[in-house]
Amino acid sequence: MCGRTACTLDPEEVSRASRYRTRGGQNRRPRWRDGDADKYRPSYNKSPQSCSPVLLSHRHFDKDAPVDQCVLAAMRWGLVPAWFQDSDPRTMKFSTNNCRSESLLHKKTFKDPFLKGQRCVVLADGFYEWRRQGKEKQPYFIYFPQTQTQTGPGEAGRDPGDGESREEEGEQEQWSGWRLLTIAGLFERWTPPGSEEPVYTYTVITVDAAPNLHSIHDRMPAVLDGEADVRRWLDFGEVKSLDALKLLQPTNLLTFHPVSSLVNNSRNNSPECLQPVDLQAKKEPTASSKMMRSWLNNSSTSKRSQEPGAEQGPATAQEPGAKADRGPSTAQEPGAKADRGPSTAQEPGAKADRGPGAKADRGPADSGPLHRWLQGSSKKPRLSVGTEELPGAS
């Protein structure tokens, strides 16, 4: 299953990070559908019923648009069938947050939009999944490995020696920030009774977990790896439905790291949700996990204490079986240091200096871009994203 994601880029950055190729090989940057950029809210902790950025063919909105031209839209997580007649989607007696690839053609809710070519790509920094450990569940953040040339979410950069890429529409800056996950999904257009305004909703398609993720959970989102797979999934004019099904395969390319139980409660929306934590495991962390820790920890504690705290409230959309940690052990006074392992980012093989009064090695001037981005007040995600409701819900 996939019940929680993070997407922390602002609308402009999502557009720059979602470049795609047309049938002719042209590299294009998608534009937001009119008004949708304002509907999307970045978040460290997105749950069903919140809006996410979705990439799809512009032909779904404009019949005269080329089928291989893509557009960005903000859609609600949790597919509402077009034939649903109640004004309140919460009365549905089944969950549509996820769709198993194996049963996609056997359930009317998913079969109808799939055969109509209503395929989309859900964009996210990564997704959260929980590993059961006895009576408890340990959350993990799962994402594409990030290379050294990538600078982290929100930090625009250029590929070394590449400068700017030229297109037919002019020179464009090459995105070298955080590589977004590209997840296969289906969308539907539902008009609530008594309303003329359609609501666009989507579901995440899932497959069997890849071998490297199976120890965490037996299912995973169907991740499309690379521009070619994304183009084929979205191009419903050239790639027919049965051929598109072949693209839904487990990918063994993802990496992950453990995170705090703060993410269990969807009201918690802060950088700590995706910050790596030290489980004191014998297994050495992966290179991508070390890089993530370096990005997050290369900023002073004083800066971190200035970030407004996430609003704490009753648990909503909580992972089944996971206990929300609402006590004093997680809600800390501003400036308090969380015990999350080494407080300094180190080169591989270096020993952590955890003695009293040890100062963090801030590294070179261009280090720590992810953490600096997370502290950007102008890009701070809105709180309580998980409490958004569909129109018609009371």
Angle at 304 between CA 274 and CA 280, to 5 degrees: 50
**Any catalytic annotation for residue 2?**
yes
Rounded distance between C-alpha atoms, residue 377 and residue 303, angstroms: 11
Rounded distance between C-alpha atoms, residue 325 and residue 312, angstroms: 10
Catalytic residue among 129, 155, 319, 388: 129
Task: Give me the residues paired with residue 256 across strands.
Answer: 142
Task: Give me the residues paired with residue 140 across strands.
Answer: 129, 258
Residue 273: φ, ψ to 5°: -60, -35
Rounded distance between C-alpha atoms, residue 214 and residue 224, angstroms: 18
Q: Residue written as tokens 């649903």?
A: 84
Cα Rg for the chain, rounded, in angstroms? 21
Q: For residue 69, count CB atoms less than 10 angstroms from its CB and return exposed for 0-12, middle for 13-18, buried for 19 or more.
A: middle
**Any catalytic annotation for residue 51?**
no
C-alpha 235 chain-centroid distance: 22
First-to-final CA distance of the chain: 27
Question: What amino acid occupies position 50?
Answer: S
The single-letter DSSP state of residue 259 is B
Rounded distance between C-alpha atoms, residue 323 and residue 321, angstroms: 6
Catalytic residue among 2, 7, 120, 273: 2
Report the catalytic residues. 2, 129
